[in-house]
Amino acid sequence: MDQLPRIPSFKLNGQRALVTGASSGIGQGCAVALAEAGAHVVLAARGLDRLNSTVEAIRELGYSCEALALDVAEVEATQAVLENQQPFNILVNSAGLAIHSPAVDTQIADFDTVMNVNLRGAYFLTTAVAKALKASGKSGSLINISSQMAHVGGVDRAVYCASKFAVEGFTKAMAIEWGSAGIRVNTICPTFIRTPLTEQTFDQPERVAWIKEKIKLGRTGVVEDIMGSVLYLASDASSLVTGTALMVDGGWTAD
């Protein structure tokens, strides 16, 4: 009989990965997943204290990683830092923040703060990593941590939704532009995941009730729910996947 097909490898040995927002929450989980799969992971965040603690914990497990102080909102400084780095085969852009309020009460400073990280920072970090890949002739997988709120609306979340809808847009455009170079660009769109970023929401019983009503699987998410998704998109298992959004939302957007 003909030889049976074999599943593509999920291993990332020999790959270099950059994960932003890596000191806690989803970014931290993604860094652990990629390191466990064999990648050398550069963990980036603004504060080095928590970041170094995460790096030490990952190294204690026997995996390869290092810390990098980086504020993606400082675009020019970020670009300068990356110019002194070897190309990254994998990017997980997990730095993000949210400032929630009714749309009519949105403060201009709050709007700019969110957009500078979630959109402007993400955009230029993605292009910086892609530029280095293209110059080196290497392929890669660039992953933006988006949100289910990039596909639906939410109470008091107009600014956050706007930032994440925009991430989906540039992800598709970049996927088209860089496909011929073997550079894939995708998003992961989580539902509400318990992290330090979302504790403010989880402290509001009425919001928790609204969330659980929307999630068809009947539970909110944990960081571990994202780890398999990022490994899939980073690895050869997703080699024909680009320009798309991987929903990890418990069925929220199935309506």
Are 10 and 232 in contact, with CB atoms under 8 Å apart? yes
Looking at 100-242, which runs of residues are DSSP E strands?
140-145, 183-190
**Cα–Cα distance for residue pair 107/130, rounded to 1 Å:** 33
Minimal CA–CA distance to 20: which of 6, 34, 8? 34
Q: One of 63, 123, 160, 232 is an active-site residue; which one? A: 160
Q: Is 209 helix (H, G, I), strand (E, B) or coil?
A: helix
One-letter amino acid of 138 = K
**Cα–Cα distance for residue pair 255/37, rounded to 1 Å:** 35
Are 26 and 145 in contact, with CB atoms under 8 Å apart? yes
**Cα–Cα distance for residue pair 225/193, rounded to 1 Å:** 8
Name the pairing type of β-strands 245-248 and 183-190.
parallel
Residue with tokens 């927002």, as numbered in its chain: 21
Q: For residue 57, give the H/E element and its range.
A: helix 48-60
**Cα–Cα distance for residue pair 247/161, rounded to 1 Å:** 15
- Tell me, yes or no, if 160 is annotated catalytic: yes
Handedness of CA 211, 212, 217, 223 (dihedral sign): positive
Catalytic residues: 160
